[in-house]
Amino acid sequence: MTSQTSPMKIGVLLSGSGTNLQAIIDVIAKEDLPIEIVHVVSSRPDAYGITRAEEAGIPVTVLNRDVYADTLAADQLIVDAMRTAGAEYIVMAGYMRKLTPVVLDAFPDHVLNLHPALLPSFKGAHAIQDAWDAGVKVTGVTVHLANEDYDKGPIVAQRAVEVAENDTVESLEAHIHQVEHELYPWVLRAFVEGRVSIDENRKVHIDIAEA
């Protein structure tokens, strides 16, 4: 993979507050990250991430429960919006719906997801609470390539988060979100700089020699 000479165009999928979208927006502005967010799709009309996108001047497509009654048609809407916008990568940032092959096949190995645990541990929508309930001393954050198996795509990067003795589940969640906001932009920079590769065993490697 070679480094891009022009900004990498990404589309973002979200369902909630959009803090990871905001983190990417902020890093692009402050650290000269050569990425352009060309479109945002929200699965919910009440998601605050819509406001964040609009304030940043990013076009938004808003879906709702009625649209998702036909998941394949909903995913085709996403593909059409992202292709029209020129997105090269799809970045899931708190997107709470499983993508179908309609999206995954349209952007093969170009769909990234963020998970608030160290996969393969604690898959699913309640990973932080599940890790807390299990009493683990270390959990973390995973960025992986999305595929048809929920939270099971090839792992791109991970960072550990220690569970301190004085933590509550709320403070642990805050620590995890802080790491998410650092790790996702770091991974995107690795992609745009051409330092990410996938070997024949579907393992992802990041060349850190140039980091």
Mean pLDDT, to the nearest integer, of 122-140? 96
State the pLDDT at residue 155.
97
Q: What is the pTM of this model?
A: 0.93
**Catalytic status, residue 144:** no
Tokens representing 157 are 């990067």
Confidence band for 3, pLDDT divided at 50, 70 and 90: low
State the pLDDT at residue 180.
97
pLDDT digits over 73-102, tens only? 999 999 999 999 999 999 999 999 999 999
Strand partners of residue 89: 10
State the pLDDT at residue 1.
55
Check pLDDT > 50 for residue 179. Answer: yes
Active-site residue identified among 39, 115, 175, 181: 115
State the pLDDT at residue 161.
98
State the pLDDT at residue 211.
41
Give 127-159 as a 3 state SS string.
HHHHHHHHCCCEEEEEEEECCCCCCCCCEEEEE
- φ and ψ at 83, to 5 degrees? -65, -40
pLDDT digits over 50-76, tens only? 999 999 999 999 999 999 999 999 999
**Whose CA is closest to 51, among 8, 16, 95?**
16
Mean pLDDT, to the nearest integer, of 104-108? 97
When computed from its CA atoms, the radius of gyration of the chain, rounded to whole angstroms, is: 17
Average pLDDT taken over every residue of the chain: 94
Check pLDDT > 70 for residue 29. Answer: yes
For 43-184, list the strands marked E by DSSP: 60-62, 89-92, 111-115, 138-145, 155-162
pLDDT digits over 36-55, tens only? 999 999 999 999 999 999 99
